[in-house]
Structures are given as C-alpha cells and as structure tokens.
C-alpha cells in the first residue's frame, strides 16, 4: 500500500518510522528543497489506516511547496504526520514528541516543523528540547493568526483593486465566515477601513463579539456581498455552493477552500475573482520565518505580510483562472532556481 503512494507522489524523500512504544506512525514528507529547506507543520491525528496518514502528509507537503514558492521565503515544502492510535496525553504524549524531535533532528534541517492540527505551541516546546528546527514554540514568532489576517487584508485590497478599480475597502460589504483567531482580527482590520462587515460563525457568540452584523451560518452562500472571506473550514467552495454565491470576490484564510480543482474554474466562469488560498493565507509562515529566522522588526514584518497583495496583483494580472496562474507562478520560481543551480 505504501509503495503505490510513493509511485504517485512526486516529492524528494520521505521518512517512515513506526514507534513501537506508542503504536504511532511518523511520516515526514520532504516534497521539495529546491527553494530551500522544506517547511511545513506537524499534524497529529487518528487515521483509519497508516496509509491514510502517509497520503495526507504527501498531499499536504505538495501544497506547502506551492505555498512557500508563492511566499518567496527561500523555503521548500514539507509536512509531517503523527498517525496515532489515539491522541496521547501526559507523559506518553511528551515521550512521543521527544522521540519525534529526535527524528526531525536526524534530518539535519532538511525538514523544519511548526504546528498543525492537534499540535500546540507547548507540544512544539517539547519537540524543541531535542531539535533545533522548530517554529511556533511558546517563545517563538507568536500567534501566527495575526500575520495571517494582515496578509489576507492586503490580499483583499489587491483583489478589490483588480475587480473594482480601487483597493479601498471602505463601503464594501465583506462577509467573514469564521470569527476565530484569524477571522476576528480580519473583521477588526476591515472595520478600521470603514467596510460594511458581516460575520458568521457556528458559535454565534463569537460572531456577536466582533461587533459586526451577524449572518446565520446556513445563509452565508446566499448572502449578497462584495467579498466573501472564508476563514473557518475548508471545502466551502464546491459545486453546490458556487452557483448560489452573490459576491464578486472570494478571499480568506481557510486552507483547501476548493472541494476539487474544478471549483476554481466554476468561480472563474461565474465572474467571481478567487484569491487562491495558498497565496492569500501565507501570512502565518511569513511571520514565523521572518521573526524566528530573519530577525525582522515590526516594519519589515508588516511590509512582507502586505507583499502578499503584490503577489496577488501579479497573479490576477496574468488573466484566466487565478488558481492556475498561482500554480504557474510557483512552478516558474522553482524552475528558475533549478536552472540557476545547474549553471
Ligand atoms: N491561524 C493561522 O495562522 C492560519 C494560517 C493559515 C491558514 N489558517 C486557516 O484559517 C482558518 C481559520 O483559522 P483560525 O486559526 O482562525 O481557526 P479558529 O479555530 O480560531 O477559528 C475558526 C472559527 O470558525 C468557526 N467555524 C467552524 N466551522 C464553521 C462554519 N461551517 N461556519 C462558520 N464558522 C465556522 C469556529 O467556530 C471558529 O470560531 C482555518 O481553516 C485554518 O486552517 C490559519
């Protein structure tokens, strides 16, 4: 079963380790190091089978390569999965994370980790006891939601400029789906612009706490607005929802917003400008790499976060489906680096 997955995957290398003591499988997938060391978070999850965990790590590592290339950070893409029989707690969790730290350390910096599903900054502190290549610890680059929201905001301004001829979001109606860490910060930035902000969250109290006008979670896809900003979960753009959308722009922080690749064409055909998720939501990695590796001050951080808007201007300027244009931009950056290395 693993062999089939490796045949289909186009990454550089992967490490598979079975951890007898916990029954966990550790998968570290280094998809590409052409642009630099492979960066990407570690996900801890219970999967139906170990192969599902490996497949997830492979798919996510590929997406990280494109995301890192778009963010232009001198980083490649990778991802790790700890496929556990059940989520461990206490000493067992600590022991597993220490052994995982040893594994990442043994790769000598080829793969550099941060948090993902079920991995907290406190967990990363434990991994860091054994390994230097860890981002997003409690003493690290801080809450990445802040950087993510700033970059999404810059991306929405670029999208507004392309769609409406002005980057000014004042007076625009923006529907933010998800009033969590990123969504709530984004609402604040939009309110400061003078935008008419609508917000929706399955936890209505969270939505209300933002002070924006609340839309029921079920009504999001039928609500008229200029911009729909998915900041909750993936898969909200699909064959069922896209025909109902009454917006001109889609752009938000959620990962994997498209249910399937064809959804970006569906949006394009409906005349809806889509800011590809892996470009507009790169603020978190930009913040972590900038603060932890590059020693940026606040001005440099802000400038780099807002450069996500420039990347989107370039992508929109290419015409056609922006998801294709973004993939193309990433592929070009990787090909150029590969050529430089050969000459
Ligand atoms: N935090 C980051 O730095 C970062 C970076 C890149 C991408 N993302 C992605 O952005 C999204 C939001 O991240 P976050 O850190 O704000 O997460 P979060 O968990 O803090 O917030 C998510 C919010 O969405 C709400 N929600 C869940 N399902 C919903 C639904 N169907 N409709 C409306 N609301 C719903 C939750 O109640 C919660 O308030 C996630 O998809 C995440 O993967 C986050």
Smallest CA separation from ligand 1 atom 4, residue = 145
With a 6 A CB cut-off, is 231 part of the ligand 1 pocket?
yes
pLDDT value of residue 74 = 94
How many Å lie between the centroid of ligand 1 and the Cα of residue 280? 14
Domain contains 19? yes
* 186 lies in the same domain as 273: yes
Smallest CA separation from ligand 1 atom 10, residue = 254
* 154 lies in the same domain as 241: yes
Domain contains 269? yes
Domain contains 54? yes
Smallest CA separation from ligand 1 atom 25, residue = 178
Domain count, the chain: 2
Is 128 assigned a catalytic role?
Answer: no
The answer to whether 177 and 230 have CB atoms below 8 angstroms apart is yes
Name the residue range of residue 196's domain: 144-284+303-332
With a 6 A CB cut-off, is 286 part of the ligand 1 pocket?
no
Q: Give the pLDDT mean for 22-38.
A: 97
Domain contains 70? no
Domain contains 293? no
* 36 lies in the same domain as 170: no
- Choose among 138, 105, 132, 145: nearest CA to 119: 138
* 116 lies in the same domain as 24: yes
pLDDT value of residue 142 = 76
Q: First vs last Cα of the chain: how many Å apart?
A: 39
Confidence class for position 174, pLDDT limits 50, 70, 90: very high
pTM for the full model?
A: 0.92
Q: Tell me how far apart the alpha carbons of residues 180 and 201 are, in angstroms, rounded to a whole number.
A: 8
Residue 238 predicted with pLDDT over 90: yes
Query: Torsions phi, psi of 303, nearest 5?
Result: -60, -45
The pLDDT tens digits of the residues spanning 10-20 come to: 999 999 999 99
The pLDDT tens digits of the residues spanning 146-164 come to: 999 999 999 999 999 999 9
* 193 lies in the same domain as 265: yes
Domain contains 28? yes
Among residues 67, 79, 128, 337, the one annotated as catalytic is 79
Domain contains 89? yes
Q: What is the CA radius of gyration of the chain?
A: 20
Residue 33 predicted with pLDDT over 90: yes
* 121 lies in the same domain as 245: no
How many Å lie between the centroid of ligand 1 and the Cα of residue 336? 34
With a 6 A CB cut-off, is 182 part of the ligand 1 pocket?
yes
CATH number at residue 278: 3.40.50.720
Residue where a domain terminates, one of 104, 128, 152: 128
Q: List all residues 6 or more positions away from 39 whose beta carbon is below 8 Å from its beta carbon.
A: 64, 68, 73, 75, 76, 77, 78, 111, 112, 113, 114, 135, 285, 289
pLDDT value of residue 143 = 81
């Amino acid at each position: 079963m693993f062999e089939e997955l490796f045949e289909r995957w186009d990454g550089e290398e992967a490490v598979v380790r079975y951890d007898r003591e916990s029954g966990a499988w550790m998968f570290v997938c280094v998809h590409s190091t052409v642009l630099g060391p492979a960066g990407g978070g570690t996900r801890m999850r219970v999967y139906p089978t170990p192969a599902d965990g490996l497949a997830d790590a492979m798919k996510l590592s590929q997406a990280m390569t494109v995301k890192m290339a778009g963010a232009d950070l001198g980083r490649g893409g990778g991802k790790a999965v700890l496929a556990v029989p059940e989520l461990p707690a206490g000493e067992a969790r600590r022991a597993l994370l220490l052994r995982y730290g040893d594994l990442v350390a043994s790769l000598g910096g080829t793969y550099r980790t941060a948090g993902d599903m079920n991995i907290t900054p406190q967990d990363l502190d434990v991994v860091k006891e054994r390994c230097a290549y860890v981002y997003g610890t409690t003493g690290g680059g801080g809450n990445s939601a802040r950087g993510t929201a700033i970059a999404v905001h810059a991306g929405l301004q670029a999208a507004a400029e392309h769609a409406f001829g002005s980057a000014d979001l004042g007076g625009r109606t923006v529907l933010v789906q998800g009033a969590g860490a990123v969504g709530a910060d984004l609402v604040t930035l939009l309110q400061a612009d003078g935008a008419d902000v609508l917000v929706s969250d399955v936890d209505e109290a969270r939505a209300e706490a933002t002070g924006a006008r609340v839309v029921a979670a079920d009504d999001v896809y039928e609500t008229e607005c200029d911009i729909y900003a998915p900041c909750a979960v993936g898969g909200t753009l699909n064959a069922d929802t896209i025909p109902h959308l009454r917006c001109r722009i889609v752009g938000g922080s959620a990962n994997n917003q498209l249910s399937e690749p064809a959804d970006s064409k569906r949006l394009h055909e409906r005349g809806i400008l889509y800011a590809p998720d892996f470009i507009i939501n790169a603020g978190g990695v930009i913040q972590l790499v900038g603060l932890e590796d590059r020693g940026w001050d606040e001005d440099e951080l802000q400038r780099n976060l807002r450069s996500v808007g420039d990347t989107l201007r370039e992508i929109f300027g290419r015409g056609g489906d922006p998801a294709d244009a973004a993939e193309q931009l990433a592929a070009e950056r990787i090909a150029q680096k590969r050529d430089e290395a050969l000459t």
